[in-house]
Amino acid sequence: MFFFRQIIQKPWVTADGSAPVHGGAEFSLPKAKVGLWVFCAVVTSLFLIFIASYSMRMSVADWRPLPEPGLLWLNTAILVFSSMALQWAQVNAHRELIGKVKAGLFFGGVLAIAFLAGQLLVWQQLVDLGYFSSTNPANAFFYLFTGIHGLHLLGGLVALGRTTVKVRKADLDMAYVRLSVELCTTYWHFLLAVWLVIFGLLLFT
């Protein structure tokens, strides 16, 4: 309710000489974290509009649902493990165990790349079976969802790579490392949640 508390203030009443007390920042969070949350909100908006489009297009008679290749279950498991690896890295960043942070980041990254490779394999399987994006909108939506989700993960991998470089530096600033690892982990969990929603949507329709 910080917002409500703010907008009932009477700004025209001037402070009577006492020191100003508002610190300037709305949340006691690092700026990068707020930035990441705002970005997640934008991505949420993007996928909500995609999902709304999906459900609207579904209602037309020519809709033929896509069979979900079994490989998607494996990919989902890989992404869950990738997220867990980063969570483990985050816990160890707080304990300042750098070796474990490095390992967590490494496995998180490798598993995320494995997930992307798995998604490409799924595309290959579907194309081999003749599920082109031109044959049915359900197919086109599948390529669209997985493609956009994959691109977001790819962007995350860039950030993860930068974090890994930071952690490997000799003169590391622990607070900085902790924040970077936390940001990556939050983004990974977010993308996992997005993927689970998309996967659920595909399974149940």
Partner 1 sequence: MAYVTHDDAQTVPPAELGEMELYHAKSWMTKYVFSQDAKIIAIQYSVTATAIGMLGLVLSWLMRLQLGFPESFDFITPTDYYQFVTMHGMIMVIYLLTALFLGGFGNYLIPLMVGARDMVFPYLNMLSYWIYLLAVLILVASWFVPGGPTGAGWTLYPPQAITSGTPGQGGGILLMLISLSFFIIGFTMGGLNYVVTVLQARTRGMSLMRMPLTIWGIFTATVLALLAFPALFVGAVMMTFDNLLGSSFFMPAIVEFGELLDHEGGSPVFFQHIFWFFGHPEVYIVALPAFGIVSDLLSVHARKNIFGYRMMVWAIVAIGALSFVVWAHHMYVSGMNPYFGFFFATSTLIIAVPTALKVYNWTLTLWKGNIHLTLPMLFALAFIVTFVNGGITGLFLGNVTVDVPLSDTMFVVAHFHMVMGVAPLLVVFGAVYHWYPLMTGRMLNEGLGKFHFWVTFLGAYAVFLPLHYIGLLGVPRRYFELTGTSYIPDSVQTLNAFVTTIALIVGFAQLVFIYNLIRSRTKGEVAERNPWKATTLEWQTENVPPTHGNFGKKLPVVYRWAYAFSVPGARDDFIPQNLPPDQVPTDGSVS
> Mask: binding to partner 1, 158-177, rule CB under 8 A, as x and -?
-----------------xx-
> How far is residue 137 CA from its own chain's centroid?
25
* 148 vs 197 by CB, closer to partner 1: 148
Q: Please report whether residue 42 would count as binding partner 1 according to CB under 8 A.
A: yes
Please identify which residue in the block is written with the tokens 């990974």.
188
The gap between the terminal CA atoms of the chain, to the nearest Å, is 38
Give the integer Cα–Cα distance in Å for 85 and 88.
5
Q: Please report whether residue 77 would count as binding partner 1 according to CB under 8 A.
A: no
* 70 vs 161 by CB, closer to partner 1: 161
Q: Which residues contact 98 (CB under 8 A, 6 or more apart)?
A: 167, 172, 177
Q: Which stretch binds partner 1 (CB under 8 A): 19-27, 92-100, 101-109, 121-129?
A: 19-27
Backbone angles phi, psi at 168, to 5 degrees: -80, -15
DSSP H helices, 31-136, are 31-58, 71-94, 98-128
* 33 vs 106 by CB, closer to partner 1: 33
The residues in 126-165 that bind partner 1, with binding defined as CB under 8 A, are 132-134, 137, 139-140, 144, 148
* 56 vs 170 by CB, closer to partner 1: 56
Q: Which stretch binds partner 1 (CB under 8 A): 36-44, 70-78, 81-89, 110-118?
A: 36-44
Percentages helix, strand, coil for the chain, rounded to the nearest 5? 75, 0, 25
For 158, the token pair is 């860039």
Q: Please report whether residue 95 would count as binding partner 1 according to CB under 8 A.
A: no
* 7 vs 170 by CB, closer to partner 1: 7
Residues 72, 185, 197, 145: is their CA dihedral positive or negative? negative
Residues that bind partner 1 (CB under 8 A): 3, 5-18, 20-32, 34-35, 38-39, 41-42, 45-46, 49-50, 53, 56-57, 60-63, 132-134, 137, 139-140, 144, 148, 175-176, 178-179
